[in-house]
Amino acid sequence: MSPTDIPPEGRVLYPQIPARTSVIDSASREGSPVTGPSRTSNPITLEDIYSHMVALQQAQVTMQIENKKQRQADREALDSVINNLSRIMSEDDGPRGRSASRAPEQASGPVRVRPSVEQEGHEYRQARSAKVPDPAKLSDGISPTYDYWHVQIIGKFKVNADHFADEDARMYYVFNTTDGDAQRYLYARYQPNATDPFKTATEMIDYLGEHFVNPHRVREAKREYKKMRMNETQSFHEFKTKFIHLADEAQINVDDRLDEMYDKLTLPLQEQLTGQRHNIKTLQDLYLIASSVDSEMKALQNRKNVRERIKARATTAAPTSVASKTFGMASSSMTTAPQLFTAAQRSFTPARTTPGVGDPAIKKEGTPAPSVCYNCSQPGHVARDCPLPKRTTDIKEMGEAEEVTDVEDMSGNEDA
C-alpha cells in the first residue's frame, strides 16, 4: 500500500524523508564508521510506517463494529426476556383484586409491553407530562370544599392523563385523595367485597357530590342575592366581590346583572353616578366608574370626620380648662384643712351620748349610774378593763375619757 491509498482524513503529516533511504545509508555517506553486522538488508521506510498505521486503524474500526453488534444482541435478548415475563404475568390466573370487577374484554386486552432500551432515551422521557401537584384531601367538605376538590381532581386527570395506566389507577387515586368522612363514604363501595362496587372514577366523584353538595344551593343563593344591598360602611370592592359570588351561585343571567347591581348600590353612590349613567353600558364600565367614585366619596367623608372631631375637641376644651383652674385653686386652699382638723380633734373630746349615762331624766333616786366603757361603749366596765382589743385612738383622748368616767362614778356614789 502506498501513501496515496490512505484517504485524506486518515493521513498524518511527517517530515519529508527521501523515499527508500535507510538511516544506515545516510550515516555511511556522512563518513560515520559503522561496526557490527550490516543492517542494510531490511531498511525501515516511510511506506512501512504508513502501512502499519492503516492496519491499526482497520483493527480499531473492526473492534468497534463487533462491540456494537454485541451490545445490540444483548439489548435484543433483554427485550425478549422482558416481553416473555410480561406475557407470563398477563396469563397468570386472570385478573386479581379490584381488576376482578372489570369487564372480561379489559382483562384480555393488549399487553402493555415495556419500551425497549433505545425508546427510553431523551425523546421518550420528554413525552411524559410534568406532574401536577396533588390536591388537598377531601374530608368533611369544609376545608377544602367539595367544589374546589372536584375542580382539582378533574384538572389532574386531564393534565396528567399519561400518569394513569388504566381506570383502576384513577379510581385508586380518587380514593387516596380523600380522608375522614369522604373516605368512609367511598369505602362501602370500594372495598373488595362490595356488593355494588364502583366502575369508574367519575362515578366515585359524583357519589361524593351527593353527600357534600347542597341540592337547594341555587335557591338559597337566589334568596340571599335578592336581599343583598350595599352597606354605607362597605367599600365598593367588597360589595362587588360578594355580588359576583352570589350571582354565580344563583345562576343569574349575565344580561340582567348590570341593572340589578346598580339598584343595589347606596343612594349617595347612585346620586353621584346619575350624571354618568348613560356612559355605563357594561358591567365592566360600572365596576370602573363606581369604584372610582366610591373611593373619592370615602376619602371626602374621612376628611369631614376628622374636621368634626377637631371641632368637638375645641368646643369641650374651653369649659374644661376653666373648671380645672377653679378646681385647682379650691384644692390648693384645702390642702391644710386635714391638718387643722386633726389638731382640733386632738384638743377636743366629744360629749358622751350613750343613753342612761348622765341623763337625769332616767336616773333613779338612790341608784348610781352604770359606768360605760369608752373602748366598746358597753356598760359595766371601763376602757382599761375592756376584754375587747383596744381601739386605735390618741392616748391623750383615752386618758381624758377615763377621767370623765371616774368623775361620773364618784358623783354617783356620793348621791347614793
Q: 284-307 as b/e, with b when 16 or more CB fall inside 10 Å? A: eebbebbeebbeeeeeeeeeeeee
Q: What's the gap between Cα 42 and its chain centre?
A: 90
3-state secondary structure of 138: strand
- Is the pLDDT score of 403 beyond 70? no
Instruction: Compute the C-alpha angle 158/164/168, nearest 5°.
Output: 115
Residue 190: pLDDT band by 50, 70, 90 thresholds?
A: very high
Neighbours of 183 (CB within 10 A): 17
Question: Tell me, what's the pLDDT at 91?
Answer: 75
Query: Who's near 189: CB < 8 A, 6+ residues apart?
Result: 196, 197, 198, 207
CA distance 396 to 389: 18
Question: Tell me, what's the pLDDT at 336?
Answer: 43
Position with higher pLDDT, 308 vs 34: 308
- Joined grid coordinates for residue 241: 366581590
The Cα-based distances of 254 to 150, 229, 248 in angstroms read 25, 18, 9
Segment 337-358, tens digit of pLDDT: 444 444 444 444 444 544 444 4
- Joined grid coordinates for residue 327: 378646681
- Asked if 208 and 135 touch (Cβ cutoff 8 Å), the reply is no
CA distance 270 to 290: 9
What's the mean per-residue pLDDT of the chain? Answer: 74
Residue 279: pLDDT band by 50, 70, 90 thresholds?
A: confident
Mean pLDDT, residues 134-153 taken together: 92
Residues 315, 316, 319, 322: is their CA dihedral positive or negative?
negative
Q: How far apart are the first and last CA of the chain?
A: 175
pTM of the shown model: 0.39
- Asked if 375 and 342 touch (Cβ cutoff 8 Å), the reply is no
